[in-house]
Structure 1
Amino acid sequence: MKWSTRIGITLGLSVVIAICLSALPKMDMTAGLGSTYTWSNTKGGQLTENNLADLLVQVPLQLRIRKVELSTSRLSLDLSLPKNADSIAVYRDLYTLAQTMLVQTKNVDQVWVRVIDYSGGSESTSSQLVLAMVAQREFVKDMEKKPNELSLIQLEQELQNRFRITYTSKWQQKYPL
Structure 2
Amino acid sequence: MKWSLRIIITASLSLAVAVSLSLLPKLDQLAGSNPLDAWSSKRAAQLTDRNLVDFLVQVPLQLRIRKVELTNARLSLDLSLPKNAESASVYRDLYTIAQMITTKTKNVNQVWVRVMDYSGATDQASAQLVLAMVADREHGKDMEASAGELSLIQLEQQLQNRFRITYTSRWQQRYPL
More helix by share: 2
Q: Which residue of 2 aligns with 1:131?
A: 131
Q: CA offsets per residue over residues 63-117 of structure 1, 9 Å max, x none?
A: 0000000011000000000000000000000000000012110100000000000
Does residue 118 (structure 1) correspond to residue 121 (structure 2)? The answer is no
**Any gaps of 5 or more consecutive residues in structure 1?**
1-16
Judged with a 3 Å threshold, the aligned counterparts in structure 2 of structure 1 residues 119 and 46 are, in CA distance, closer, same or farther, namely same
Identity %: 65
TM-score of the superposed pair, with normalisation by structure 1: 0.81
Following superposition, the deviation at residue 26 of structure 1 comes to 4.8
8 Å CA contact 2:102–2:141 kept in 1: the answer is no
Judged with a 3 Å threshold, the aligned counterparts in structure 2 of structure 1 residues 126 and 139 are, in CA distance, closer, same or farther, namely same
TM-score of the superposed pair, with normalisation by structure 2: 0.81
Judged with a 3 Å threshold, the aligned counterparts in structure 2 of structure 1 residues 161 and 140 are, in CA distance, closer, same or farther, namely same
Q: Which residue of 1 aligns with 2:27?
A: 24
> What number of residue pairs does the alignment pair up?
155
Q: Which residue of 1 aligns with 2:49?
A: 49
Which 4+ stretches in 1 moved above 6 angstroms? none
**Any gaps of 5 or more consecutive residues in structure 2?**
1-18
Does residue 151 (structure 1) correspond to residue 164 (structure 2)? The answer is no
RMSD, aligned CA: 2.1
8 Å CA contact 1:39–1:54 kept in 2: the answer is no
Q: Distance in 1 between matches of 2:160 and 2:29?
A: 46
Q: Which residue of 1 aligns with 2:175?
A: 175
Q: Distance in 1 between matches of 2:104 and 2:128?
A: 31
8 Å CA contact 1:64–1:80 kept in 2: the answer is yes
**2:58 partner SS:** coil
